[in-house]
Chain A
Amino acid sequence: MTLEASVLRPEAVHATANGYEIDVHLPWYRSLPLSCLEDIRLRLGDVSVDRADLRVRHHGRDLTLDDLADLVDEQWFVQDALQVLVANEAGPAAGDSLDVEVTLATRIPYIIIGPGTALVQRTRVQRKVVVQ
């Protein structure tokens, strides 16, 4: 499994009481602070999820993407999935198949590619999954 292929695994999407929980793995070889996760874009079937509707669950807290920028001491461990939550009551149920696309923008905080500029790695992964 390459870094890209591991981002979204076959059993990554779970139906919840009011939407979905999607397990997303880090497309890098080491853990990074949550502050380095600059953006997550998610498409479920034909629907692009609004950034404001995404939450990241970390240590029992549900965080908006804007909350992440200050979390320099919170680590996304490289073997752990990040739980991304989406409220959506109209989508497919458990057992249905779903075409999912995740795009991550991850700042690599030690790869400096120019004055004041760190590498921002953009990873886009698309996969047809069965909702769990």
Chain B
Amino acid sequence: MSIVLGVTLYSMTNEWLAGRYTLPELVDEVGRRELGPGLEVIGFQSLRGFPSNVDRAELGALRDALERNELRPTSLASNADVARRASAWMGTDESVEYMRPQIELAGELGFPVVRTQIGLTPEVLERLEPIAAKADVRLGMEIHAPEGPNTPKVQATREAYDRIGSEYLGFIPDFSACMRAIPPGMLDKLRGAGLSEAGVDALVRAWENPGVPFHRYGAFAQEAEELGEPELPVAQARLVFTMFGRENVQDWREILPQVVHIHGKFYDVDDDLTSPSIDYQSILDVFAEAGRDITMSTEWEGHAYLDLEDQNAFDIVARHHEMCRRMMASA
């Protein structure tokens, strides 16, 4: 058994937004650089008119690109969008009908998994299960910072899964949930926005403390005010507490049998092929215990603070693969 490597096109968000590639060209570049075999796509990022009004020719071009590059579709990321109408959020019926075409399109394109989001209630999940079974697509709820395998919202989903009891309902761990440090690049961005070294120290301390993100941010904001830090980096630092989680790596063990795919989230890889912000060796050791093949999308999110000119996404994804291969060989 092993982790099967791959990539999500989300890693190439900067390249995509700049319009440097069409979708088939982006897939060709992944293939040329051998960043597969797995390929994950976010429907609402890569496909115009997703999910119900995508041009058939565009879907055909995606299928052809996957085939000629010998890439294997792993996960189609869906979105729940419950607040798309400000005045009336989606109820159960509307939510089910919003998700249905996303799941059906995944099945049609040969994606074995649809990434779902925490916003889906147990009632909606129960009604989506037969739709997923019919499309032969597993629904993988992403466990992403600030959630973890044992936080209340995820616990509610685990209980619903136990009650419904279907192989079509599972989880997608995202390693943003269990980070060991704030990425150095994020701290540099905040320094650039005017945060002093004393402010950086206060931020790191607040982030490392136990407690819910909201309270830890509040403690930082108060100390920053006492230090006279400028408003902009203090406001930007709110993201640090929601994007970068502090859950325990070992907790992933509890949901291992229900893992349908993995998001290999990362921000940085050092020259010695380790990641300063995420303890990949410990994580890969835990997932090795699953005893079966699990696909993992390399998911670089440094584009949250780095420009296209600062970092080529394909290069850093290749380094992440190199790091994971090294660690899996030594496990």
Residues of B within 8 A of A36 (CB): 84
Q: Is the CB of B307 within 8 A of A1?
A: yes
Q: Is the CB of A1 within 8 A of B82?
A: no
The 10 nearest A-B residue pairs measured at CB: A118-B83, A109-B81, A30-B44, A109-B83, A30-B45, A109-B84, A29-B13, A1-B308, A31-B44, A77-B48
CB distance from B180 to the nearest CB of A (A): 24
Q: Is the CB of B117 within 8 A of A110?
A: yes
* Residue A63 CB within 8 A of the other chain: no
Closest chain B residue to A79 by CB distance? Answer: B19
Residue pairs across A and B with Cβ atoms less than 8 A apart, 8 shown, are A2-B304, A29-B13, A29-B45, A35-B86, A75-B48, A77-B48, A79-B17, A79-B48
* Interface residues in A56-87 (C-beta closer than 8 Å to B): 69-70, 72, 75, 77-79
Residues of A within 8 A of B81 (CB): 33, 109-110
A-B contact number at CB 8 A: 81
CA distance A70 to B84 in the complex (A): 9
CA distance A79 to B16 in the complex (A): 7
**Supplied contacts A2-B308, A33-B81, A110-B82, 17 more A-B pairs, CB within 8 Å:** A1-B309, A3-B13, A3-B303, A29-B17, A30-B42, A31-B44, A31-B48, A35-B86, A69-B85, A69-B87, A78-B17, A79-B19, A109-B81, A109-B82, A110-B79, A110-B117, A112-B82
Residues of B within 8 A of A75 (CB): 48-50
Residues of B within 8 A of A33 (CB): 81, 84
Q: Is the CB of B119 within 8 A of A78?
A: no
Known: A2-B307, A30-B44, A110-B80. A35 touches B85 (CB 8 A): yes
* Residue B227 CB within 8 A of the other chain: no
Chain B 49-87 interface 0/1 with A at a Cβ cutoff of 8 Å (1 = within):
110000000000000000000000000000111111111
What is the size, in residues, of chain B's interface with A at 8 Å between Cβ atoms?
33
CB distance from B17 to the nearest CB of A (A): 5
Residues of B at the A interface (CB closer than 8 Å) are 10, 13-14, 16-19, 42, 44-45, 48-50, 79-87, 89, 117-119, 303-309
Residues of B within 8 A of A3 (CB): 13, 17, 303
Chain A 19-33 interface 0/1 with B at a Cβ cutoff of 8 Å (1 = within):
000000100011111
CB distance from B22 to the nearest CB of A (A): 10
Residues of A within 8 A of B307 (CB): 1-2, 5
* Residue A126 CB within 8 A of the other chain: no
Chain B binding surface SS class:
loop
CA distance A2 to B86 in the complex (A): 27
Residues of A within 8 A of B19 (CB): 79
Q: Is the CB of A112 within 8 A of B17?
A: no
Q: Is the CB of A31 within 8 A of B306?
A: no
Chain A 78-116 interface 0/1 with B at a Cβ cutoff of 8 Å (1 = within):
110000000000000000000000000001011010001
A interface residue count range (under 10 / 10 to 19 / 20 to 34 / 35 or more):
20 to 34
Q: Is the CB of B18 within 8 A of A6?
A: yes
Closest chain B residue to A9 by CB distance? Answer: B18
CA distance A35 to B119 in the complex (A): 19
CB distance from A23 to the nearest CB of B (A): 12
Chain A 31-46 interface 0/1 with B at a Cβ cutoff of 8 Å (1 = within):
1110110100000000
CB distance from B45 to the nearest CB of A (A): 4
CB distance from A67 to the nearest CB of B (A): 14
Residues of B within 8 A of A109 (CB): 79, 81-84
Residues of B within 8 A of A38 (CB): 86
B18, B83, B304, B307 — which one has the most chain A CB atoms within 10 A of its CB?
A: B83
Q: Report which of B44, B83, B303, B309 forms a contact with A107, defined as CB distance below 8 A.
A: B83
Known: A29-B10, A29-B45, A30-B42. A2 touches B84 (CB 8 A): no
CB distance from B203 to the nearest CB of A (A): 20
Residues of B within 8 A of A78 (CB): 16-17, 44-45
CA distance A57 to B89 in the complex (A): 26
Closest chain A residue to B18 by CB distance? Answer: A1
CA distance A11 to B12 in the complex (A): 24
CB distance from A32 to the nearest CB of B (A): 8
CB distance from A70 to the nearest CB of B (A): 8
Closest chain B residue to A38 by CB distance? Answer: B86
